[in-house]
Structures are given as C-alpha cells and as structure tokens.
Structure 1
C-alpha cells in the first residue's frame, strides 16, 4: 500500500488507544479527499492479519460505492463482494466480506446481523451521517444489523446536520456528536493534502412571474422572503436566461487556462434535473466542448463516470450522481447549477474538487456559484467543522422542493405557476478563505499577469490573493488610459463594473432596492438596460450615482 499520510498515522495511533463505549464505533470525521478510505483499509488489513477480525462488511449510501470499496480492497489482496444479497446465502469461501448500501441493509437487517455474528466482524459505515438525515429506516436498519459486530469504524467527510435522529454508534456528549478523530479542511489545506478552493460569485438581475401572477425582479443583493429568494435563484439557473450560458463560458475559460499547464484538468456541472443537464450539454457544445452526460436515469451513467475519471475529457455534466463519494482527482472547476441550498449538499459538491493528485504544481480549484446569500455564507464558512446536535430542528435553507414551493401559509403552490423571465449576470468577485476578492482585485491581478511574465501561468484569483497578502491595493497598477492602449470594449466593461458598485452603494446608503436605483439611472440617461449604454451614457450614469452619494439625496441634476 502507499505510504500513509501524517494524519492517517495519527488516526491509527488514536484507534489503537481507543476503548469502545456502550457498543459505539470509532468516528473519523475527515475532510473529503483526505484519504478516509485509505485509512479504513489500513485498519481492516491490520486487524485481519492479526486475527482480531475475520470478516469486513462495508455499508455505503450508493451502489456505485459498493464497487469502489471492493476495488480498493482488491488492490490489497482482500476479496470483498460488492453484489452480495441476503438471498445469496453465505459468502464464498475466498471472500473476506461484502459491501452493501444502507437501503439494502434496511430492507433485511436481520440477514446482515446474522452475517456479522457468524465471524468476528469489522463494520465500516461510510458517510455515516446519512443514517441521521436521509432516511430514518437507514439508521434503524444499521443499528439492528451491526450491533453484534466486534468493531465499528464510522467515516464521514461531511458535517453532520442538526436533527432529532440519533446517528447509530456515534458517541454523544450532552447531545453533541463527538468524533474520536477529526481532520478538518484547514489542517488538510496546510498539510497540502487537499486543494485550495476559490468561489467565483456571479450576481445578476433576475425577473420572474410569481405563482400569483405578479411580475417581480431583484438582484442577489436584494433582501427577499424565502419564497422569493427561491424564485430568484431558480430564475438565475434557468436554461432560458443569460446567466447560465455566461457563467458556463467563464468557467470554461478558467478550465481552458488551467489545461494549458494541466492537460488532464476537468470540470463538472451540478444540475437540478435531467432537462437542465441536457441544456447545459448543448450550451457547452456551442462553445466548442463535448461534455460527458452522467445522469441517474441513464443506465450507462456509472460507466461514463468511470471513463471520464481516467480520460482527459474536459467536462462532465451531472445531477447528483457525482455529489458524494466518487473520486475524480482531476476535477478542478465546478459550476453550481442547482437550487439545493443545504450545507450537506454544498460540502459534498466542494468535496468533488478538493482531491489532490501527487506532484501537483498548482493545487487550486474553482467552484462557480450564484451570489445567493446562503451559498455565499456556506462558501465563506467552508473551513469550519459542524457537529451533529440532537434536539435542534434545522430547516433546510432551500425554500423549494422538486415538486413545489412554500406559500406564505402552510400550503403548497405548484412550481409550474412560477415562471422565470430573464437573468442578466454580473461579476461579484471570488470568495477565498472567507474573504472576498473583488472584481477590482481580479482586474488588478490581470494587469500584473500581463506585466510580469513569472505570474502568467498562475490563476488570476491566486495572483489577487498574493497581491492582497503582500499589501498591494487595486491602485498598485492603474487601469490603462485610452492613450496607453485600453480599447473601447475594455473601457465600457470597466465603467459597467464601476456603475454596478456605485448603484449598490447608493442602494445601501438610502435603504432602497438596488434594482430601483439601476432603473432610475437608466431612465436618466435614456436607456432601458445598462447593456444599451454608450460609453458617454455610462460616464453620465456613473456621475449621477456619485453625486447622489455625495449629496446624500437622489437628485436629477448632473
């Protein structure tokens, strides 16, 4: 086997000193990509060799992981049957154990109880948090099936959510789940075990028709009710708007840049449903890419994921098929195109991008996210751990479901009554380690890259971080004037960003909606959208906003 990492050696020492309490297991909470599977197999192989156990049973949330665990054990000469079912009777004589999904175990827990009772058995419960949040039957089935096992190893790479369902075999202290060994993202990042993930945020101006027929519009800066916030997000993610193709284009540009020095670098798009996924495939094809589509309703999806993992194909598009447990270390760019707003799912998505390959010169990754306040907070808090806390109901931040959205009362309104109209994207910067790298920071970094050949191959966001850490401000390199080569398009893009920032400041200063400020500015210069502005109109528009800030009131002089 490959050499153990320092944290895995530490965990092995803790495991050797650990004493079970009340039939509970040894809980390892380690950030995705750190190597939990490698640790578990090391523990199992040592126990098999010493005779402390005679059998291994692995419980997993998805059928794909059954084969993945069997494959990894097989590399060490340990035969694990990933397709064993209770009706098959005994395991074959050359098989040291089996892998099964929590759903299978919940259907016939007594059969698995008999299996672990026949011999001294180590049970590995992978992604154990599912037994407390996905299905109560999973937790109940696991408890019945594995209570007799002589050893239980619990693994989780995702923070536990708060609910009333106790996770089987977890030790609770005053209602709080207590990991026996914890290896967080911050330590893993410092150790060079995982990649640093940047979160480019993309805002926008969205318009939609509410279920009651009302026409609404908002940016991600506007404070809305949960229902309206859900509609705003769905509008941004709609394949019929401008937001999605624009963000896909930016993500593709980032991936193309990475692939100039890392030809194997891959990108992944997480979609809400098969319709959106297929539309995303069409959009990527329009910009010259040939993405792999892997959605669960297609039987060949698992095979496509396996092919993508070992190929050099640039893009894979999925729904939730690759959200957890699938190991594709070459993924370095992701796009979040789903309204699922839960910390559990968000961290699973991030986990697909943090896995690092040996010898990587540039251990960075990018997840493009809508500038929704809830996603923004999750991205900023990604390094923090979460404990499983009993007796605290935590509502999903979603505000929507696959079938409907909540009314102001307790009833349901069909999602079909909601209709997105348009979504125009804006650049809101990049979240790095809970701090935001602004568009101005990024523009400054681009200037540095053009002027300093040593930074050309470095990611723009990383250059911006280095400049900020070195104390360089956005004025370190001034934006070129017309005489120094700035072309009209570049000047207009700069003016649009300055307009956007000024409008936000006006809205915050006067306590009014950002979209109303934009609408008034557009009216003053004679356009219906900032995209229609000439350079002169952009300059006038900016002057109005600056004068409003200076005067403390919204006048129409200028």
Structure 2
C-alpha cells in the first residue's frame, strides 16, 4: 500500500543516497511524475500499481517485485515492464520473492514469450513478445482487490535464492552481500542471451567445485562449519520442497503423501528426512516442471 511504498522509498534513499520518485495511484500528478521519470536520469521509482497498468518507461532495467499481489494478470503487467528484448543485447532483471506461485508465473511468462507468433521481420525494432502479451492482458476484465488473494508480510529477511534465465535456474544459496551472491547479481546487462546463459552456468560450476574442495579439506573447526552449512542447506531444501508439495496438493486436490510418493517414484531416493541435498533438489526441480506443464 501507499504507506509501505513510502517506507520502501525511505530505505532506497538510505541505501543509494538518492531520493527515489514515489508514484501513488491516488496522486493527481502521478502520470506527470512517471513521464518525467521516463525522460530523466533518476535511478529509482517506487510505484503503487501505476507502472503495472500499461504505463511505458522504456529505460527500466531492474525491477523489484515487492507486492503480495500474485494474480497472473498483474504479474504479466508488472514484469512485462522490464522483461522486454527492446534492442539486440539489452537484458533486464526482475527480483522476485522465491515463492512457488510467482516462480510458476515467471516460467509461464517465458513459455508464452517463446511461443509468440507474428514477430515483425525487422530485427532491430522495439517490438517484443511481452508487449503483445500485455496488450492482450490489459483487454481482460480486472478483478477488484477484494477478490484477489493477498497476504500481509509481518517480517522478512531476504537472502539470494536463484537466477531464472532462459527457462533454466542458476545459483547456489548465498548470504546477502557475499561474493557468491555478487557473482550472480553482478552480471552485466549488455550481453547476448547465449552469453548470459554460458556465464551463469560457468559461475555455478565454479562455486559448486569450490564448495566441494572446501568440504573435502574441512577439518576441525572448518569441518564443523561445513557440517552446519550442510545442515542449514538441507533444512532450507526440505522447507522449499514441503512448500511446493503443499501448493501442488492444493492445485490437484491430492493428499501430500500421494505427491511425495509420486516424486519418490519418479526421482528415486528415500523419504524426505533421509534424502540428500541432491535428491531434494531433483524433487524440487521435478515439481517446478509439473507447475509449468512439463510432467
């Protein structure tokens, strides 16, 4: 809401030293503020709904989805402001909460983009499949806020989870501000998609190899640190798996036990408490494929 938007703006100001533009839906000068931002060089804008509803700011390159609204229409409108292949070599990024419904919508948006038809022949124009999808979405009837499910966030501690790029997931669990996190968040925006994919894959392989070397060399206090890290990783993976299983159970009206049994049948391995990190990741990846119709 508007109070939260102002709070976010205050946090951004404190982090960057630059006061962001705040655009509120009930502000009569909101459209003018967006137009001024679109033509200016200010880095940040905090908006309540305004940017999701057909407003075009071509220079947007990094977005933070900091709302509890999770309807497909709103998600397509908001993310479509950023994920646009405007010109060759331009890449935008959107930071999302790592929750099943949003990750599923992100994957579906990529699939819809890749199946867009009738792309104009001119390769260097400003057309993109996301814009076509948004035009169609904006013609649909919009539900009121009272009809849209939402939640109130009481407290949160953000940590890096993964990068979703070109229908693939990259990244290992990393602490906020760590070198590992920066390896994935600091990727240049002016690369070809194939180059970004290659870079992400290489950085992930390097980090996995480094962790493996540390685990083998760990002894004494170092070994205990590795053990604690592995325990935390297993706990996080089990929590994520249970969350996804719950979401899939609600979607299919199946008992949780049935979903777990289906995952073990497809992926192999023991029950969740005895499963390794790799086995848990395999089940998580399988569930994510189910969410996007790749069962």
Taking structure 1 as the reference length, the TM-score comes to 0.31
Question: Is 1:439–2:148 an aligned residue pair?
Answer: no
Conservation of the 8 A alpha-carbon contact between 1:506 and 1:549: no
How many equivalent pairs are there? 210
Structure possessing the higher radius of gyration over alpha carbons: 1
Shift of 1:504: 3.6
Question: Is 1:423–2:156 an aligned residue pair?
Answer: yes
Structure 1 vs Structure 2 CA RMSD = 4.8
Shift of 1:473: 2.6
- Which residue number in structure 2 is paired with residue 345 of structure 1? 74
* Alpha-carbon distance in structure 1 between the residues aligned to 2:208 and 2:153: 42
Shift of 1:384: 3.0
- Which residue number in structure 2 is paired with residue 294 of structure 1? 23
Shift of 1:286: 1.5
Conservation of the 8 A alpha-carbon contact between 1:441 and 1:474: no
- Which residue number in structure 1 is paired with residue 280 of structure 2? none
- Which residue number in structure 2 is paired with residue 284 of structure 1? 12
* Alpha-carbon distance in structure 1 between the residues aligned to 2:48 and 2:59: 19
* Alpha-carbon distance in structure 1 between the residues aligned to 2:164 and 2:5: 26
Shift of 1:497: 6.3
* Alpha-carbon distance in structure 2 between the residues aligned to 1:421 and 1:336: 17
Show CA shifts across 1:107-156 (max 9, x none).
Answer: xxxxxxxxxxxxxxxxxxxxxxxxxxxxxxxxxxxxxxxxxxxxxxxxxx
- Which residue number in structure 2 is paired with residue 501 of structure 1? 233
Conservation of the 8 A alpha-carbon contact between 2:96 and 2:102: yes
**Which residue, 43, 50, 67 being the options, matches 1:321?**
50
Residues 1:322 and 1:468: Cα distance change in structure 2 (over 3 Å): closer
Shift of 1:476: 6.7
- Which residue number in structure 1 is paired with residue 3 of structure 2? 275
Conservation of the 8 A alpha-carbon contact between 1:335 and 1:367: yes
SS in 2 for 1:384: helix
* Alpha-carbon distance in structure 1 between the residues aligned to 2:95 and 2:27: 26
Residues 1:286 and 1:468: Cα distance change in structure 2 (over 3 Å): closer
Shift of 1:437: 1.2
Conservation of the 8 A alpha-carbon contact between 2:170 and 2:201: no
- Which residue number in structure 2 is paired with residue 254 of structure 1? none
Q: Structure 2: which 5+ residue stretches go unaligned? A: 117-132, 134-141, 215-223, 246-272, 277-295
SS in 2 for 1:426: coil
Residues 1:336 and 1:352: Cα distance change in structure 2 (over 3 Å): same
Shift of 1:513: 11
- Which residue number in structure 2 is paired with residue 29 of structure 1? none
Residues 1:496 and 1:376: Cα distance change in structure 2 (over 3 Å): farther
* Alpha-carbon distance in structure 2 between the residues aligned to 1:476 and 1:405: 40
Shift of 1:293: 0.9
Which fold has the larger relative contact order, with Cα–Cα distance below 8 Å and residues 6 or more apart in sequence?
A: 1
Conservation of the 8 A alpha-carbon contact between 2:60 and 2:82: yes
Shift of 1:299: 1.5
* Alpha-carbon distance in structure 1 between the residues aligned to 2:240 and 2:25: 44
Show CA shifts across 1:230-283 (max 9, x none).
Answer: xxxxxxxxxxxxxxxxxxxxxxxxxxxxxxxxxxxxxxxxxxx21221111111
Q: Structure 1: which 5+ residue stretches go unaligned? A: 1-272, 389-395, 407-414, 451-455, 482-490, 515-546, 551-558
SS in 2 for 1:308: helix
* Alpha-carbon distance in structure 2 between the residues aligned to 1:508 and 1:372: 9
* Alpha-carbon distance in structure 1 between the residues aligned to 2:68 and 2:152: 15
SS in 2 for 1:422: coil
Show CA shifts across 1:373-398 (max 9, x none).
Answer: 1111010111333999xxxxxxx9x9
Shift of 1:325: 2.6
SS in 2 for 1:299: coil
* Alpha-carbon distance in structure 2 between the residues aligned to 1:473 and 1:314: 33
Conservation of the 8 A alpha-carbon contact between 2:24 and 2:50: yes
Conservation of the 8 A alpha-carbon contact between 1:354 and 1:365: yes
Conservation of the 8 A alpha-carbon contact between 2:83 and 2:94: no
Q: Name the one with the larger strand percent.
A: 1
* Alpha-carbon distance in structure 2 between the residues aligned to 1:364 and 1:495: 38
Residues 1:328 and 1:356: Cα distance change in structure 2 (over 3 Å): farther
User: For residues 179-198 of structure 1, what are the structure 2 equivalents within 5 Å?
Assistant: none
Q: Name the one with the larger helix percent.
A: 2
* Alpha-carbon distance in structure 1 between the residues aligned to 2:162 and 2:36: 34
Conservation of the 8 A alpha-carbon contact between 1:328 and 1:355: no
SS in 2 for 1:317: strand
Residues 1:508 and 1:275: Cα distance change in structure 2 (over 3 Å): closer
**Which residue, 101, 109, 125 being the options, matches 1:374?**
101
User: For residues 126-275 of structure 1, what are the structure 2 equivalents within 5 Å?
Assistant: 273-275=1-3
Conservation of the 8 A alpha-carbon contact between 2:90 and 2:189: no
